[in-house]
Structure 1
């Protein structure tokens, strides 16, 4: 009997073969040698299938204990693991982006990331928004990284051909860095910028709380309009 796990595994294999644009329920049914209607016993629609695939991609991400020291270093380590998990599958970032999966693998990664930022001493809002910022950065960077694999250098060539230094002097000056192919260094640089911003959110020494002035409190009470 066909199981949901088999459907998801087959969908991931098909994704590697044909990419997200080629992944259809009909093709998946053919790969499993079943009728398309059979798939809907296991997933309601393609969106649910994509969410199950995204959850499966994160199976090993955050499963092992972190190696880095607690705090921002662990957040950086986890960001690298998330990127690796998305890169492991063709169009992995496209599959993962836009899904809001509430399943164990995805929740564990989120819990680890939030915990690392809390260990760093950040206030709770900075923890939550910082986690979103890191996640969005990883998805966006990986999305572009995977797209570059299909351009085979055509993008930089088009940019070079269109670049008029007299009209776009800043682009011309930075061109060699803009097309720098060291994606590891670029990814790490972006993470350093994000974590530098998060460090700026660390609270300074708390100011002493002044005791309430009972006379001022009384004056405010007397000025309160009658109901």
Structure 2
């Protein structure tokens, strides 16, 4: 039993029962093991949730080309993260409420920052840029997964177009803040 297999099963269970219904007892039963056995792999539920979030991020990042201009990278990363987060019931709330795992801190965040560093961003500016966009993406997805809020938003705007406009606004702001040029026209 690997931590990835456990996290994948937890994501499948999340789709069935939602974040509020997810428990280590239910997860252990779905895996055919005793609840305490999970703690051999995870110290607590918070660590499990962080690993589940890492699995979502890996799936969002896996198909992306990192050898693109910094602004293309940020747009692509934002759209991919939103799409992958929305694939899971309560995926956005999971992302918003979990503690970043060691895997996220050691591997995923540096992977996300790498195209910006290559473009001459400082480490701080790259980290801030990823945080700005990540906060927007997760907040947007939380609203999308809240049916009442989503209905209101849909009545006021076209969701995909407005999300893209929000990402573009942030990317342009990041360019101005860091004295960088955009490689592609706004849009």
* TM range, smaller chain: 0.7 to 0.9
Residues in 2 aligned to 1:183 and 1:80: alpha-carbon distance in whole angstroms: 12
How far off its partner does 1:77 sit?
0.6
For residue 101 of structure 1, what is the aligned residue in structure 2?
101
For residue 182 of structure 1, what is the aligned residue in structure 2?
158
User: For 1:125-204, what aligned pairs fall within 5 Å after superposition?
Assistant: 125-148=124-147, 151=148, 156=152, 179-203=155-179
Q: Which moved more, 1:177-186 or 1:91-100?
A: 177-186
Gaps of 5+ in 2: 181-187
Residues in 1 aligned to 2:4 and 2:108: alpha-carbon distance in whole angstroms: 20
Q: How large is the Cα RMSD of the aligned pairs?
A: 2.7
- In 2 relative to 1, CA 43–125 (structure 1 residues): closer, same or farther, beyond 3 Å? closer
TM-score when scaled to structure 2?
A: 0.81
- Aligned residue pair count: 179
For residue 207 of structure 1, what is the aligned residue in structure 2?
none
> Deviation per CA, 1:28-50, whole angstroms, max 9, x where unpaired?
12222322122222222111111
Gaps of 5+ in 1: 157-176, 205-227
Kept after mapping to 1: 8 A contact 2:58/2:108: no
Kept after mapping to 2: 8 A contact 1:71/1:117: yes
How far off its partner does 1:131 sit?
1.6
Kept after mapping to 1: 8 A contact 2:113/2:127: yes
The structure with the largest alpha-carbon Rg is: 1
User: For 1:80-119, what aligned pairs fall within 5 Å after superposition?
Assistant: 80-97=79-96, 98-103=98-103, 107-119=106-118
For residue 169 of structure 1, what is the aligned residue in structure 2?
none
> Deviation per CA, 1:5-26, whole angstroms, max 9, x where unpaired?
3322221111000100000111
> Deviation per CA, 1:169-191, whole angstroms, max 9, x where unpaired?
xxxxxxxx883352111110111
TM-score when scaled to structure 1?
A: 0.68
- In 2 relative to 1, CA 23–12 (structure 1 residues): closer, same or farther, beyond 3 Å? same
Residues in 2 aligned to 1:67 and 1:56: alpha-carbon distance in whole angstroms: 18
Larger RCO of the pair (alpha carbons < 8 Å, separation 6+): 2
